[in-house]
Amino acid sequence: MHSHPPAKVPDRATVTAHPSGDKRFKLLDVTIKRHQARQDALIEILHKAQELFGYLEDDVLLYVSRSLKLPPSRVYGVATFYHLFSLAPQGVHTCTVCTGTACYVKGAAQILAAVEQNVKIHAGETTADKQLSLLTARCLGACGIAPAVVFDGTVCGHQTAESTCDRLKEWLEGK
């Protein structure tokens, strides 16, 4: 019986380069190494990945999964749970309508319906010209100013269907 030396297990902070050679993966590696490939740094690492790639495509999620030694289902679960992460390319502008209880009671459904009718896309979609992505969030934590809508990362409270559609019209007309 032959005895083989134990296989050398790479250090958790050692991350292999992505086979595509895409330099953004090297930049992501810097963040992974800074967090010592700790699994509890998943959210921070996903934020950096989205910043670098614009959205979290499958290849990026699998890379993070392998780098942190996490099951792909866990990485995907986190990426789909938080509304700030996107699994598809986003438009130049993003509009996120809060559909949490307080916002819903104060008119979020009417806002969303008006926006969908005006811009001819549904929640989760991007206009054909890639100018606008329409998203929803379960709760933004802005219940005191319900209904809330996020325009390009800025939370705006006490929105109406009219105020929201007016803002989007300005964007789409290039103002």
**Rounded Cα–Cα distance for residues 7 and 105 (Å):** 59
Q: Is 139 annotated as a binding residue?
A: yes
pLDDT tens per residue, range 6-31: 444 344 444 455 777 889 999 999 99
Q: Is 143 annotated as a binding residue?
A: yes
The reply to whether 98 sits in an annotated binding site is yes
Tell if the pTM clears 0.75, that is, is over it.
Answer: no
Residue 17 confidence (pLDDT): 59
* DSSP-assigned beta bridge partners for residue 150: 96, 155
Residues facing 96 on adjacent strands: 135, 150
Residue written as tokens 């890379």?
Answer: 63
The answer to the question of whether 156 is labelled as a binding residue is no
| Least confidently predicted of 10-14, 59-63, 149-153, 159-163 | 10-14
Residue 139 confidence (pLDDT): 87
Residues 63-93 have pLDDT tens digits of 999 999 999 999 999 999 887 788 988 899 9
| Mean pLDDT across the chain | 89
